[in-house]
Each structure stands twice: as C-alpha cells, then as structure tokens.
Amino acid sequence: MDGIHDLGGMQGFPPVDPHDDVVGYHDDWEGLVHSAFTGTLGSGVHNMDEFRHAIERMDPAHYLTAAYYDRWLVGVSTLAVEKGVISPGELRERTAAMADGEATVTERRDPTLIDDLVDGVVDAYAAWEDDREPAFEAGDTVRVRHMHPDGHTRCPGYVRNAYGTVTEYRGTHTLPDAHAHGGDGSEPVYNVAFDLGALWDADGGEDHSGDSQSESAGDTIRVELWESYLEHVNE
C-alpha cells in the first residue's frame, strides 16, 4: 500500500543524528516487545508479511513519531487482537492497570518454550521453494510496473515506473503481496540496479545548482524485486 512507511526519496525530514553507540536495547520495554514478537511469530499467530503490513496500517502521524519498537508493539498488539488471541477489552484493561501501577508483569516459567518459539520463527521465515523458471536474466533491461496495490507489497514506490537492469537472479521467494493476506506461493526474485541520476532526474537529486548530474554520475540504487513487479522492455 502507498503508506507512510514507504519512505524512500521523501523529502523534508530533519538531519540524521548519527551518534548512537548503544549495543542492545535503548529501553527495557523494547526487549519485552521483541520477545512478544518472538512469541507470536514463533507460535504461528502471524507471519512476517502480516506483521509488516500491520505496521504499515499505523496512523501516519504516529508511525513517524513512534520509536521503532513502539511500531513493533502496535503491530504485535494489532495482530494478537485480530487473530483472536487477546480481546480488545483485556488489552485496554491491562494497559490501564499497568499504567496505574495496579498490575505487575505475569511470571510463568516454561523453559522448553523458547526452543519451540525459535523453531517456529525458522518456519515463519521459510520460503516457498517453487520450481519455476525465471523470466528474466542478468543483463535484461526491465521496467518496474506502475503498481499501487491496496495491500502489502515490497515494491518501493520510488522505483515504480523506472527502468533498471537485472544484475542477479536470487532464486524463488515467498511473495509478500500474497502472504500478508492469507495467500501462499513464491516467485523469482531479482536484484535490479537503477541509475540514481535517472531515478530522480536532473532536478530531483543532490542540489539545484545545475551540477547535480555530475555529483550522482555512476551512483546506483540496488533493490530486490519479485518477478510480478517487473515487465520486459522491448529494446
């Protein structure tokens, strides 16, 4: 979907603050969210593509301001409720009780569960291995389809309608666009290279002083794209 998460090429954000030497979590609650994600993914409550799509459905203003693990928290909470694991009422009540200091975190030991969850996470990432001949090969010029699906996709908006060159066939992988919505199956995936200058054209790039072409000359953006995102270009 054309959501706020699809950030490639958007303008107007503040400068990056590159200083971050923290190894591990920045706050204790982030580790709780990460383990909750492991619990639901590893138990098969949702798959990776449903998880990504749940985050993509966030309120745009919240998405942009939320800490990274807050986005995960929204994604896991949304899916746990949608899949019927937790009711909206109990989530609301428990959250209020936690905020008011009227509840403590539930403790329950189950030392073997983590191994089951890790196995489940591996299963969740396992790709469908379809025996399918790729339609493109390295060196082919392709055009990314001008697509705007309502649902989940891993085709970034900024490469749509652009011309690129297939650099490598990556094998078949689960199609996220289907998998996020209950479908299955896989497609060939390709690494496709785009000329940065052509992607953003002469006045979309580095600066507007007239020498933007030279500054990005030779620079390349490389994206993994599923076969149905691409079409042949007749040369």
Partner 1 sequence: MSDHDHPPDDSTRASIDETVEALAREYDPEPRARALQSLLVEKELLSTDAVDAVVSTYEREIGPLNGAKVVARAWSDEAYRRRLLDDGMAAIEELDVEVNGDVMEIEVLENTPETHNVVVCTLCSCYPWAVLGLPPTWYKSPSYRSRVVREPRALLREEFGVDLDDDVAVDVWDSTSELRYMVLPQRPPGTDGLDEAELVEHVTRDSMIGVDRLA
Please report, as residue ranges, which positions from 129 to 148 form the binding site for partner 1 (by CB under 8 A).
Answer: none
Site for partner 1 in 90-109 (CB under 8 A): 90-92, 94-99, 103, 105-109
Euclidean distance between CA atoms 58 and 67, whole angstroms:
13
Q: Cβ distance 166 to 225 under 8 Å? A: no
To partner 1, the closest distance from the beta carbon of 73 in angstroms equals: 6
Instruction: Rank residues 33 and 140 by Cβ distance to partner 1 and give the closer one.
Output: 33
Distances (CA, A) of 151 to 5, 66, 158: 13, 22, 17
Task: Say whether residue 80 binds partner 1 (CB under 8 A).
Answer: yes
Site for partner 1 in 33-72 (CB under 8 A): 33-36, 38-40, 43-45, 48, 52, 55, 57-59, 62, 64, 66-70
Task: Say whether residue 161 binds partner 1 (CB under 8 A).
Answer: no
To partner 1, the closest distance from the beta carbon of 48 in angstroms equals: 8
Residue 71: alpha-carbon gap to chain centroid: 12
Instruction: Rank residues 90 and 137 by Cβ distance to partner 1 and give the closer one.
Output: 90
Tokens 């089951």, located at residue: 116
H-assigned helices in 100-203 = 113-125, 176-179, 196-200
Q: Are strands 141-144 and 230-232 parallel, antiparallel or unpaired?
A: antiparallel
Site for partner 1 in 168-207 (CB under 8 A): 170, 173, 181-182, 189, 196, 200, 204-207
The amino acid present at 108, given as its one-letter code, is R
